Structure 1
Amino acid sequence: MILDETIIALATPSGAGAIAVIRLSGPKAIEMAATHFKSVSGKNLSEQKTHTIHLGHIVDNNRIIDEVLVSIFKNPNSYTGEDVIEISCHGSLYIQQEIIQLFLKKGCKMANAGEFTLRAFLNGKLDLSQAEAVADLIASENEASHQIAMQQMRGGFSNEIAMLREELLNFASLIELELDFSEEDVEFADRSQFKILLERIEQVLKRLIDSFAVGNVIKNGIPVAIVGEPNVGKSTLLNALLNEERAIVSEIAGTTRDTVEDEITIGGMGFRFIDTAGIRETKDVVESIGIKKTFEKIEQAQVVIYLFDGSTAKAKLDDVAIELAKIRNKYPQKPLITIANKIDVLTDTELAEINKTIPDVLLLSAKTGFGVEQLTNKLLTMINSGALRNNETIVTNTRHYDALLKALEEILKVRHGLESGLSGDLMAIDIRQALYYFGEITGQVSNDELLGNIFANFCIGK
Structure 2
Amino acid sequence: MTYQDTIIALASAAGSGAIAVIRLSGNEAISIVDAHFKSVVSNKSLINQQTHTIHLGHIIEKGRVIDEVLVSVFKNPNSYTGEDVIEISCHGSNYIQQEIIQLFLRKGCRMANAGEFTLRAFLNGKLDLSQAEAVADLIASDNEASHQIAMQQMRGGFSSEIAKLREELLNFASLIELELDFAEEDVEFADRSQFKDLVDRITFVLKRLIDSFAVGNVIKNGIPVAIVGEPNVGKSTLLNALLNEERAIVSEIAGTTRDTIEDEISIGGIGFRFIDTAGIRDTEDVVETIGIKKTFEKIDQAQVVIYLFDAHDFKVKSSVLKVELEKIKNKYPQKPLLVIANKIDKVDDILISKLQIDIPDIKLLSAKTGFGVEQLTNSLLDLINTGALRNNETIVTNSRHYDALLKAFEEIQNVKGGLETGISGDLLAIDIRQALYHFGEITGEITNDDLLGNIFANFCIGK
Does TM, normalized by the shorter one, top 0.5?
Answer: yes
Structure 1 residue 323 corresponds to structure 2 residue 329: no
The residue that corresponds to 2:59 in the other structure is 58
SS across alignment from 1:313: helix
Please state how far the C-alpha of 1:300 moved relative to its aligned partner: 3.0
Please state how far the C-alpha of 1:83 moved relative to its aligned partner: 0.4
1:264 touches 1:272 (CA, 8 Å); kept in 2?
yes
Q: Distance in 1 between matches of 2:357 and 2:368?
A: 24
The residue that corresponds to 2:102 in the other structure is 101
The residue that corresponds to 1:380 in the other structure is 381
Which aligned pairs between 1:41-440 and structure 2 lie closer than 5 A? 41-42=41-42, 43-440=44-441
Identify which range, 374-383 or 410-419, moves more after superposition.
374-383
Q: Distance in 1 between matches of 2:436 and 2:15?
A: 46
Q: Distance in 1 between matches of 2:336 and 2:462?
A: 42
Please state how far the C-alpha of 1:258 moved relative to its aligned partner: 3.2
State the Cα deviation string for residues 56-90 of structure 1 (Å, max 9, x = none): 11111211111110000000000000000000000
SS across alignment from 2:395: coil
Q: Distance in 1 between matches of 2:246 and 2:346?
A: 22
State the Cα deviation string for residues 200-227 of structure 1 (Å, max 9, x = none): 1111111100000000000000121111
Q: Distance in 2 between matches of 1:81 and 1:453?
A: 22
SS across alignment from 1:315: helix
The residue that corresponds to 1:38 in the other structure is 38
SS across alignment from 1:316: helix
Please state how far the C-alpha of 1:451 moved relative to its aligned partner: 0.3
Identify which range, 33-42 or 298-307, moves more after superposition.
298-307
Q: Distance in 1 between matches of 2:372 and 2:409?
A: 45
The residue that corresponds to 2:443 in the other structure is 442
Q: Percent identical across equivalent pairs?
A: 80
1:10 touches 1:23 (CA, 8 Å); kept in 2?
yes
SS across alignment from 1:112: coil
Please state how far the C-alpha of 1:288 moved relative to its aligned partner: 3.9
Please state how far the C-alpha of 1:366 moved relative to its aligned partner: 1.6
The letter for the 1-side match of 2:240 is N
Identify which range, 306-315 or 451-460, moves more after superposition.
306-315
Q: Distance in 2 between matches of 1:159 and 1:168?
A: 14
State the Cα deviation string for residues 364-393 of structure 1 (Å, max 9, x = none): 122222221221122112211000000000
SS across alignment from 1:396: coil
State the Cα deviation string for residues 237-271 of structure 1 (Å, max 9, x = none): 11221122323333333333333221100111111
Q: Distance in 2 between matches of 1:243 and 1:122?
A: 47
Identify which range, 324-333 or 99-108, moves more after superposition.
324-333
State the Cα deviation string for residues 117-145 of structure 1 (Å, max 9, x = none): 00000000000000000000000000000
SS across alignment from 2:280: coil
In 2 relative to 1, CA 67–289 (structure 1 residues): closer, same or farther, beyond 3 Å? same
Identify which range, 279-288 or 257-266, moves more after superposition.
279-288
Q: Please, which runs of 5 or more residues in structure 2 have no aligned partner?
A: none
Please state how far the C-alpha of 1:314 moved relative to its aligned partner: 2.1
The residue that corresponds to 1:9 in the other structure is 9
Please state how far the C-alpha of 1:275 moved relative to its aligned partner: 1.6
SS across alignment from 1:8: strand
Aligned length: 462
State the Cα deviation string for residues 397-439 of structure 1 (Å, max 9, x = none): 0000000000111111111111111111111111111111000
Identify which range, 119-128 or 281-290, moves more after superposition.
281-290
RMSD between superposed Cα atoms in Å: 1.5
The letter for the 1-side match of 2:395 is I
Please state how far the C-alpha of 1:289 moved relative to its aligned partner: 4.1
Q: Distance in 1 between matches of 2:278 and 2:181?
A: 69
Q: Distance in 1 between matches of 2:123 and 2:233?
A: 57
Q: Distance in 2 between matches of 1:258 and 1:156?
A: 43
Q: Distance in 1 between matches of 2:31 and 2:149?
A: 39
SS across alignment from 1:388: helix
Identify which range, 327-336 or 111-120, moves more after superposition.
327-336
SS across alignment from 1:78: coil
1:317 touches 1:354 (CA, 8 Å); kept in 2?
no
After TM superposition, the runs of 4+ consecutive aligned structure 1 residues lying more than 4 A away are 283-286
State the Cα deviation string for residues 310-343 of structure 1 (Å, max 9, x = none): 2222211232233223333433333221111122
State the Cα deviation string for residues 343-362 of structure 1 (Å, max 9, x = none): 23223333333333323222
The letter for the 2-side match of 1:405 is L
The letter for the 2-side match of 1:193 is Q
Q: Distance in 2 between matches of 1:202 and 1:79?
A: 35
Please state how far the C-alpha of 1:229 moved relative to its aligned partner: 1.3
Identify which range, 365-374 or 162-171, moves more after superposition.
365-374
The letter for the 2-side match of 1:247 is A
The letter for the 1-side match of 2:245 is E
Q: Distance in 2 between matches of 1:430 and 1:243?
A: 55
Please state how far the C-alpha of 1:284 moved relative to its aligned partner: 4.3
Q: Please, which runs of 5 or more residues in structure 1 have no aligned partner?
A: none
Please state how far the C-alpha of 1:456 moved relative to its aligned partner: 0.3
Q: What TM-score, normalized to structure 1?
A: 0.97
Q: Distance in 2 between matches of 1:289 and 1:419?
A: 59
The letter for the 2-side match of 1:35 is A
The letter for the 1-side match of 2:381 is L
The letter for the 1-side match of 2:175 is L
